[in-house]
Structure formats: structure tokens, C-alpha cells
Amino acid sequence: MTSSTLQLTLVLVISLLHFSSASRKLTQNNQELKFQYHKGPLLTGKISINLIWYGKFNPSQRAIISDFITSITSPTITAQPSVATWWKFTHKYYHLANSQNIVLTTGSHFLDENYSFGKSLTNDQIIKLASNASQTNAINIVLTSADVAVDGFCSSRCGTHGSSVGNTKFAYVWVGNSETQCPGQCAWPFHQPIYGPQSPPLVAPNNDVGLDGMVINVASLLAGTVTNPFGNGYYQGPKEAPLEAGSACAGVYGKGAYPGYAGNLLVNPTSGASYNANGVDGRKYLLPALFDPTTSECSTLA
């Protein structure tokens, strides 16, 4: 489920693949998980989230992701359960570490619609793309379109997070649009899984299987980024293949979840879409459970 690579000075790469048998087993036995704090820094203070769009995304697709980020960073009150409430699960890690909390803000957007590195990317190129945005007090999220292949995408991961050194040490996330390449792996439960228990796919809350799947992966990796940004924060297991706040609960979205079943979720009566979090401007999202270090259980909104 996880992989690591050395880029520049240190790059910790955390990979997310929904249907890892290891993560499933650990999710079902989450009482056995004991997250350790390895005394390294968490991301603290005011941190901007910059979005780097690589390839073709239409405006409505970009809005799905950007509205999710705004739903975390905006003080606007939304209906409960909300994206902002989900994000507060990460605050428990800061409390246990006696660390200053993090305040996320919406940063800049960078569009690379001309495929400056082509349509087949290496990890080095992902980092170069991430380096194009501000590297100071920032998390740079690289999002690749459905027609872009990335090393390891679909075969072993749906996205990664890591750290690298440019002008300064910075954290980054990469997530790909799996809609045409591996939706059964990286956009479940909005697509039939390629293996494991079979159940009908859920209706995506924003009517876009690829982008709604990307939201799930961005959310999980973002939680891992702030709580284990440089490989010495919160995680369980070996440093080269750690379980983090999101990856420890892969496949769990609501109470009662089990392999092949996402859990008890809210359903939009108009569209029939399943969700568990409300966002800005009436947005609805399905967000992954996060590991609660105080209870050693996966915490869900629904």
C-alpha cells in the first residue's frame, strides 16, 4: 500500500490504495493499532494549500476540489456534519503532541494544461511540479488528469504525500484522476471494486466518479501530511511503510463499515448520492474515517 523514494534530500512518499488487504485487516482490528509520536515536527501555524492542476480539468471539476479545500479553510458555518468538523479530528494529534495547531488557508491555483512533462510522469517530475508553487508555509497539491499516467499509479497507489527541499523544505501531495484508468481501485465506493466483496457502487455526491474519488484521496493524504509531514511525526509500523491518520482507516466512511461496505451514510433524496459531510455552497462530500489516537479507533462523521 505504501512506498518511499529518495528525492533531493528526503522524500517520504505515502501511497494510498483503497483495496489493500493489509489496510483492510488493520481497519477491522483497529483496536490493535497504537500510533506512536516519533517526536518530529507537525505542520503548524498558518499554512496555505496550493493546487497544481496538470492536464485537462474543466472548471466544474476544479471547483469540486477547490470547494473541498475552502470547506476546510473557510469559517463559514455549514450544515452538520461538515467538512470542517471532519478536519477537527486531526487536532487531537496536535493536542497529544503539545504542539501549536495548524490553520489552513486557501492558496493559489496553477494550471498546466499543455502537459509540460508529457502524459507519463515520474516521481521526480511530480516533485518538480509541486516546486512550482510557493514553498514557504505551504502544502502543494499536484492533481493529474485522467489521461496522465504516473509511476505506480493504479498498480500500487492512488496518490502520495512527501517532503522535499527546494528553496526551503516543503510538503506536497499528489493525487491522480482514476476514472479511466482504475476507478475500481482508486474511486471506490463510486465504482465497482476490481476484487474483493462486490456491492453496487454508490452515487457520487458531485456526479463525477473521478473527482469525487480524488476528494477521498486528497482528504486522506492531507490528514497524513499535517500529522506526519517529514516522516517522523505520527504513524504506526515501519517508517518505510507507515500507517497514518487516513491510511489506517482505508475503506471506512461510516459506522458499521466492513470490506465491501462503506458504512452507514447520508443519502441525498434528490440525487440518491451518498455522502457524510457538508461543504460550502451546498456541496456534499464523502470523506474517509480518520484514526483517533486517543481511542485507537477509526472516527467517522456518519
Strand-pairing partners, residue 162, are 172
Is the separation of the CB atoms in 263 and 42 below 8 Å?
Answer: no
| CB contact at 8 A, 163 and 170 | yes
| DSSP 8-state class, residue 146 | T
Q: What is the pLDDT of residue 23?
A: 32
So where are the chain's domains? 14-295
The answer to whether the bond into 205 is cis (omega within 30° of 0) is: no
Compute the Cα dihedral for 83, 86, 88, 91 and give only its sign: negative
Report the DSSP beta bridge partners of residue 9: none
CB 250 within 8 A of CB 242: no
Q: Which amino acid makes up residue 36?
A: Q
Residue 154 · residue 185 · CB < 8 Å = yes
pTM of the model: 0.90
Residues whose CB falls within 8 Å of the CB of residue 147, separated by 6 or more in sequence, listed in order:
55, 56, 119, 180
**What pLDDT is stored for residue 251 in this prediction?**
95
pLDDT (tens place) for every residue of the chain, 302 residues total: 333 333 333 333 444 443 322 233 333 444 456 788 999 999 999 999 999 999 999 999 999 999 999 999 887 777 899 999 999 999 999 999 999 999 999 999 999 999 999 999 999 999 999 999 999 999 999 999 999 999 999 999 999 999 987 677 899 999 999 999 999 999 999 999 887 778 899 999 999 999 999 999 999 999 999 999 999 999 999 888 899 999 999 999 999 999 999 999 999 999 999 999 999 999 999 999 999 999 999 999 97
Amino acid 33: pLDDT = 64
